Amino acid sequence: MINEVRNTVLALLNKNNNGYLTPEEFNLLAKQAQLEIFEDYFFNYNMWLNKRNARMSNSQSADITRGYIEVIDGFREAYYDLTKGPVFYELPTNWYTIDEVFVYKIPLSSSNGLEDLRTADRVSPSQVSRLLSSNLTQPTLDYPIYYMAEDTNNPQPGNTTESGVRVYPRTYSSGDNVDVAINYIRYPLDPNWTYSSIGPGGDPIFNAAATDYQDFELPLSDFALLVVKILQHAGLVIREAEVVQFAGQEEAVEQQNDN
């Protein structure tokens, strides 16, 4: 889909001689556009879920919420084992939001291991000391808890802090033979329009066989919205207010159709 999106964007830009986007510029704008649409999924899903609960949405083929669930599920990673760090269990660099955290014993006693998983309850850091102070609320391996933590001393590349999951009981330091896994939703992969050579007219020739090629991870139904958002950002790059205005109007129409 990425090649068709790029061709559409360039055709609209060239229609009034508004300018040209290099492959590198297009890839940067494509990444930003995909990220904005991806994050809007969760806002729109919540909005339509409220509408369905208020009986303002239909079911079956007209169930908008089901469509958002199906798209979001494409970014879901299940039972991902976390790396044990010196301070906490380190999250993968591509995590967007965490659904569940599991604690399980090693080795797994069952054939598929799912019977050994214990779902940890999420708490705030301020609650931990209160829970640990009472024998009635102390977490155990059967009833573990966790909270989101950050370590500014060991940042991930490109970040000022490193994110992780801190689990109680302190499984990473107590000697218990256990491990931690999560179900989480990841960010989409960065789109990358690749080319192999420059054609006779000076235009790069698309090459989907390149090792670093990456298509959009969004459904085809978002084709028009991708074009509009890339155009909107492209107008800022080439400093054409007309392009920004046109893309803004088209985006407003798309949002009105979604609502």
pLDDT of residue 30: 95
Neighbours of 172 (CB within 10 A): 19
pLDDT higher than threshold 80 for residue 212: yes
pLDDT of residue 55: 63
Q: Which residue has the tokens 């994050």?
A: 39
The whole-chain average pLDDT of the chain stands at 79
Instruction: Report residue 177's pLDDT band, with 50, 70 and 90 as the boundaries.
Output: low
Q: Is 254 helix (H, G, I), strand (E, B) or coil?
A: helix
Please compute, for residue 20, the number of CA atoms within 13 A of its CA located in the half-sphere on the CB side: 5
Q: Round to whole Å and give the CA distance between 143 and 21.
A: 55
List pLDDT tens digits, range 50-88: 776 666 556 655 667 777 888 899 999 988 988 887 778
Lowest mean pLDDT among 28-32, 44-48, 52-56: 52-56
pLDDT of residue 88: 83
163 or 110: which leads in pLDDT: 163
pLDDT higher than threshold 70 for residue 162: no
Q: Both tokens of residue 134?
A: 């009472």
pLDDT higher than threshold 50 for residue 118: yes
pLDDT of residue 157: 47
pLDDT higher than threshold 70 for residue 229: yes
Instruction: Report residue 247's pLDDT band, with 50, 70 and 90 as the boundaries.
Output: very low
86 or 148: which leads in pLDDT: 148
Read off the pLDDT of each residue in 108-120 and give the average, rounded to a whole number: 64
Q: Which residue has the tokens 């001393």?
A: 153
The helix (H) or strand (E) run that includes residue 43 is: helix 23-53
Give the start-to-end residue ranges of the domains of the chain: 2-72+189-258, 76-186
**Per DSSP, what are the bridge partners of residue 214?**
192
Top mean pLDDT of 66-70, 90-94, 140-144, 232-236 is at 90-94
Q: Is 255 helix (H, G, I), strand (E, B) or coil?
A: helix
pLDDT higher than threshold 50 for residue 243: no
From the centroid of its chain, how far is CA 223? 18
Q: Round to whole Å and give the CA distance between 225 and 220.
A: 10
pLDDT of residue 111: 46
DSSP 163-193: EEEEEES-TTTS---EEEEEEEEEPPPPPB-
Q: Which residue has the tokens 């000391």?
A: 129
Instruction: Report residue 160's pLDDT band, with 50, 70 and 90 as the boundaries.
Output: very low
